[in-house]
């Protein structure tokens, strides 16, 4: 007794299988690279903790020894980590507002307004951070005209 063989696959079925295989491969590669990145960040954090948490002089990303992950450590950051300096500097104020030190008054006011909408004490924000954001705006806007 002979069993009938299934009909040969059509071109459409073949292309679907190829696309599915490529998608699975891409997902696996992405997962592998993500795990490498996570491990590198964990190692860098461990090294920093072993060193007492002090930042080395120079560029933090280059000196942390985290390799590929350390190069992109600040990538996508849209906030200032702190700690705040006792007399606020123009550089710190620019970092807090997310603008350049040389930004015009209009850009400084827009950045201030954007941050205050999110962090205003009336909507559950911190009064301390609000004071720091206001101080940063006043420091940067001083001497600039609209």
Q: What is the pLDDT of residues 48-107, one digit of tens each?
A: 877 765 444 444 444 444 455 544 554 555 556 667 777 888 888 888 898 988 889 999
Q: Has residue 7 got a pLDDT over 80? A: no
Q: How far apart, in Å, are the Cα atoms of 75 and each of 37, 53, 71?
A: 13, 21, 8
Q: Has residue 25 got a pLDDT over 80? A: yes
8 Å CB contact between 68 and 43: no
Q: Work out the burial of residue 38: count CB atoms within 10 Å of its CB; fewer than 13 is exposed, 13-18 middle, 19 or more buried.
A: exposed
Helix (H, G, I), strand (E, B) or coil at 94: helix
Confidence of residue 108 (pLDDT cuts 50, 70, 90): very high
Average pLDDT value over all residues in the chain: 78
pLDDT at 1: 61
CA distance 41 to 16: 37
The lowest-confidence range among 37-41, 65-69, 135-139 is 65-69
Beta strands in 25-140 (DSSP E): none
């Amino acid at each position: 007794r002979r069993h009938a063989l299934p009909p040969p696959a059509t071109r459409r079925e073949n292309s679907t299988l190829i696309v599915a295989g490529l998608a699975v491969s891409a997902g696996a590669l992405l997962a592998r690279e993500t795990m490498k990145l996570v491990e590198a960040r964990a190692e860098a954090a461990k090294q920093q903790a072993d060193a007492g948490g002090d930042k080395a002089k120079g560029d933090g990303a280059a000196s942390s020894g985290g390799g590929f992950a350390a190069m992109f450590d600040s990538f996508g950051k849209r906030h200032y980590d702190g700690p705040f300096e006792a007399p606020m500097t123009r550089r710190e104020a620019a970092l807090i507002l997310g603008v350049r030190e040389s930004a015009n008054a209009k850009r400084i006011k827009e950045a201030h307004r954007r941050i205050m909408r999110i962090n205003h004490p009336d909507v559950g924000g911190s009064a301390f951070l609000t004071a720091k954001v206001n101080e940063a705006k006043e420091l940067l806007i001083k001497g600039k005209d609209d």
